[in-house]
Structure 1
């Protein structure tokens, strides 16, 4: 289940908790650049790290700078960095070098890593989650990962999906990518990679909010690459942060903005993204320009991609359905066979499984289970299943029952999630009462139906495991939609109607992905 942090893809994760900058703030940065990998040396990471360290010093950061570090030294530096942070700190972590992901978790690769198997990744590398843990005491944290060029591990393992492992944008955060996930970013023709080179330029002017910095980077990288590389961000920031404060709006150099007006900036941004097939790119445009010139076009295009209806009409007459020899009416539950999932007939006219498919239900139809959390028990949702795996389960179930089970379409799932109510999450407004998610899951799945159901009797629509949809994510149908969020998701990703569940190739499987069925 190993996939790559695609060549030179940068991620910036910024945590802001209603933070107002104080005059006496302490800015601390750890900057690491790894180039000297045996057999797979990289050209720019050490240069990127050195230049970033110099730029941050000018911006008032106390900088710990490390280049070409082994695992022990890397962990020691991260610990030293965390020990310096306090409640009035601004913390920034920058890493350039190889990075890989296994089963949804991201890892940074020291120069002495001996990665022979997927299992050895956790032993030989540095877990990004461990870095984030070190930042817990600081109220504002910036993590920049400019990860991997021509990754040598790609040919050793079966890559699942493409690009980065999914990273949710928690409340008060910004995730900025050097290019779209799964795409290849440019190393550049000079001293630095293209993204880092433009980021260094954009850090120079005074008076720019962090969002404006990344907007300039996106415009310039898109232009320099002929639109082959388009940085983008996911943001839920609640406070303002300036790398360099100023009393006036900054006037950028010609290489960054050339005195463009705000409307020109929006025009250029729209030109760079209007051909996208990723809903998340359009969603981010709508967040940044809620009253923008192209809002109407963006909303129409987004609606075509996601097919989310504004309202799902309920049939005027209560629907019925037959199961074995019985007639089922809306709200009733039933099973088509002893080993079949328990279904509930919805007012919309379809029946949906009351819970995600469990390990017990999977084993009864398919035999052994693929789950990473097999020890969780037979009432836990089956996970580590691809869209293709779910289709095989459904084919076998249909052969056994003579019925027509399938995966839900997104609009069906969305209507079932709402259950006729405008709530924050599927089933209510209290997150912990309806969903297993990052804050309360203990980093594992949980038995189904332990949380509160929604008003149509459906459990675990939000959280526990992300759920496969029948729908294609794009016109090429190269990926399928995922909805609902999981035990690993931040709260924004389990909200009703959120598209942060994302999409994945039909062959992709993960310990946070399961499914439910309809008929």
Structure 2
């Protein structure tokens, strides 16, 4: 069924430790209490409509998004298959809770429509039988946005609303309401809307798919990328767009309107933070004859953490040569795809891998690296210094020229970026 708009190696810390029989390590991911962001989300999903055919995925979509947001430290106010009264009550609870939040987020999956450019969400008891129906049965999107804009710094809106909406046709024909149509209209970000991202599951006035799998194409892609480690929300939505476009064979392209004045990262990982050892179980402590708090245990934990780091470092690929790296001289990387080329030559060439995870080949393949990344010797040296300062960071994300290129950059920086 169509759905209206609406829209490598951090994990190996745990697996490396399991492989050598150690306790699980984790990155120090959370901020101190004094600096922690306050995040509040409203998640609504409607499937079981009383006056229209039921939708397959919206409630499942909303429940999965709510679960994901809770793991990203959001206070989640949620509701599924709600009537108009229940929807208003839930929004009222959200309005009280969201005031003063650093990040306010709204996700909706279900039927939606527009009338003369204004967008409405439809509770499960909406019938839309006459011209008064919108006032008494539907929920204006603008009403929700207004509630999440009070004393909040950042607002993120995700709308996955069904386009093949029979209720819109009822309203347009039986009630004679001009301009009533399935789907949602573009939501412009007016002056003063800085700090806002609005994401629709498809472009305005285009068809979106409900999907035949567990989730809609848009929600599936959103779940795959929202909260990815050290990925900004704008980059994540680029990946979502690419994922939906690919999953629907180019028939659906999410539409995003962004006015963010700062980078928003929902899952920030400090790669320079110390690794910490997971707490030993009571059984392990009894077996060791220790309560886990003495100096010996602490020393053992430190040794295990260092060992885990060493195991991870062993995964960093080696260059084929120990010779110094120079910007404009050929490098023996140990990768036949780039061997014998200099850094200067490679950054004016073409990428071997996608610069953004999930991006369709038609978007990046054949393009030139320096055109996409604005690479030059100075900018590249700054990036290389980060790799040199934190060697395991070369494993974090796939590079358009491969991991060995990042290893070479780190060595280049260690030699003074000559």
TM-score by length of 1: 0.45
Q: Does 1:91 align with 2:104?
A: yes
Q: Secondary structure at the match of 1:132?
A: helix
* 1:351-366 equivalent positions in 2, closer than 5 A: none
Structure 1 residue 77 corresponds to structure 2 residue 90: yes
Corresponding residue number in structure 2 for 1:23: 35
Alignment partner of 2:229: what SS?
A: coil
Report the equivalent of 1:143: 157
Q: Distance in 2 between matches of 1:75 and 1:108?
A: 12
Shift of 1:143: 2.0
Q: Which residue of structure 2 lines up, in the alignment, with residue 67 of structure 1? A: 80
Kindly state the Cα deviation for residue 145 of structure 1 after the two structures are TM-superposed.
Answer: 1.6
Matched, 1:212 2:235: yes
Displacement of 1:179 in angstroms is 1.6
1:234 aligns with 2:247: no
Matched, 1:195 2:289: no
Give CA-to-partner distance per residue, 1:268-291, whole Å, 9 cap, x none.
4378xxxxxxxxxxxxxxxxx995
CA distance in structure 1 between the aligned counterparts of 2:234 and 2:68, rounded to whole angstroms: 18
CA RMSD for the aligned pairs? 3.2
| Match status 1:167 vs 2:187 | yes
Whole-angstrom CA distance in 2 between matches of 1:266 and 1:221: 10
Q: Write the mapping of 1:339-418 to structure 2, written as runs, cut at 5 A.
A: none
Q: Please, which of 130, 144, 148 is the counterpart of residue 143 of structure 2?
A: 130
Q: Partner of 2:76: helix, strand, or coil?
A: strand
**Residue 8, structure 1, aligned to residue 31, structure 2:** no
Distance in 1 between residues matched to 2:163 and 2:205, nearest whole Å: 13
Q: Distance in 2 between matches of 1:102 and 1:36?
A: 23
* Contact 1:31-1:95 within 8 A present in 2 as well: yes
Pair 193,262 (structure 1): closer, same or farther in 2 beyond 3 Å: closer
Kept in 2, the 8 Å contact 1:97–1:146? The answer is yes
Alpha-carbon offset, residue 175 of structure 1 = 2.7
Match of 1:57 in 2: 70
Q: CA deviation at 1:110?
A: 0.8
User: Residue deviations 1:416-466, cap 9 Å, x none?
Assistant: xxxxxxxxxxxxxxxxxxxxxxxxxxxxxxxxxxxxxxxxxxxxxxxxxxx
The aligned residue for residue 347 of structure 1 is: none
C-alpha contact (below 8 Å) 1:98/1:108 kept by paired residues: yes
Query: Structure 1 pair 215/268, CA: closer, same or farther in 2 (3 Å)?
Result: farther
1:40 corresponding residue in structure 2: 53
Map 1:288-299 to 2 at 5 A: 292=372
Q: Deviations over 1:193-214 (max 9, x none)?
A: 1100110011252100011110
Q: 1:25 to 1:204 in 2, by over 3 A?
A: closer
1:352-400 per-residue CA deviation (whole Å, 9 max, x = no partner) reads xxxxxxxxxxxxxxxxxxxxxxxxxxxxxxxxxxxxxxxxxxxxxxxxx
Q: 2:122 aligns with which of 85, 90, 109?
A: 109
* CA displacement, residues 100-140 of structure 1 (integer Å, 9 cap, x when unaligned): 11122111111112310243212211111111121122111
Query: Structure 1 residue 259: deviation in Å?
Result: 6.3
Q: Deviations over 1:157-196 (max 9, x none)?
A: 1574774323213342333222221211121221111100
Conserved 8 A contact 1:8-1:146? yes
Q: Counterpart of 1:393?
A: none
Quickly say closer, same or farther: Cα 1:174–1:119, change in 2 above 3 A.
Answer: same
Q: Aligned residues, how many?
A: 256
Task: Give yes or no for contact 1:29–1:92 (8 Å, CA) kept in 2.
Answer: yes
Counterparts of 1:77 and 1:130, CA distance in 2? 13
CA distance in 2, matches of 1:263, 1:206: 12
For residues 229 and 114 of structure 1, what CA distance do their matches in structure 2 show? 28
Shift of 1:265: 4.3
Q: Hey, which of these two has a bigger chunk of helix by percent?
A: 2
Q: Unaligned stretches of 5+ in structure 1? A: 1-5, 12-20, 250-257, 272-288, 294-519
Structure 2 distance, partners of 1:259, 1:181, is 31
Q: CA deviation at 1:141?
A: 1.6
* Pair member with larger Rg: 2
Equivalent residues of 1:87, 1:137 under 8 A apart: yes
Deviations 1:295-350 (A, max 9, x none): xxxxxxxxxxxxxxxxxxxxxxxxxxxxxxxxxxxxxxxxxxxxxxxxxxxxxxxx
Asked if the contact 1:36–1:68 (Cα under 8 Å) also holds between the matched residues in 2, the reply is yes
Mapped to 2, the partners of 1:22 and 1:241 lie a distance apart of 18
State how far apart, in whole Å, the 1-side matches of 2:271 and 2:361 are. 24
Distance in 2 (alpha carbons) for counterparts of 1:232 and 1:145: 10
**Change over 3 Å in CA distance of 1:263–1:147 after alignment to 2:** closer
**Structure 1 residues 264, 35: closer, same or farther in 2, change over 3 A?**
closer
